Amino acid sequence: MSTESKQAESQTVGDLDITAICNGDISSLVGNWENSLGFVITINADHSATSTRPGQPVSNFKIEPKGIESDIPYIVISPDSPGIGGFVIALFKIDFKNPYGDQSDTKRPRIAVADRPGNFTPDNYYYRK
């Protein structure tokens, strides 16, 4: 069973619905997400996002149903500004552990901002605000 399938098996209230997100329904992802440094990513129902983190411009994003070289589901952020590369937001349900190593609170739904999968630092994880 893939990691995405394991993540999709059970849905807790307030948790991320990975299956729905991968099918384009981002309602469980919409809202404000904050990391340990106080930076906030706001994900809107119209598939746009904003970030308070310097150097992390965000705009429209697209849904990708699979992880990048991994079983971690993610969305891709595509900035409006030319010359600025995009990044991914990895999606972690409650109790799902990052297979590369986990430095997050797995008892909460969370997202991680990165350019590729890995053992993210605690500051890369954002929690629902």
Cα separation, 127 vs 81, whole angstroms: 26
Range with lowest mean pLDDT among 14-18, 32-36, 83-87: 83-87
The total of structural domains in the chain comes to 1
- pLDDT, tens digit, 9 for 90 and up, residues 69-118: 557 888 877 665 555 566 778 999 999 999 999 999 999 999 998 877 78
**And the tokens for 57?**
């411009």
Least confident window among 16-30, 41-55, 74-88: 74-88
Of residues 88, 66, 94, 67, the one with CA closest to residue 76: 88
Give the domain extent around 91.
3-128
Q: What percent of the chain has pLDDT over 90?
A: 39
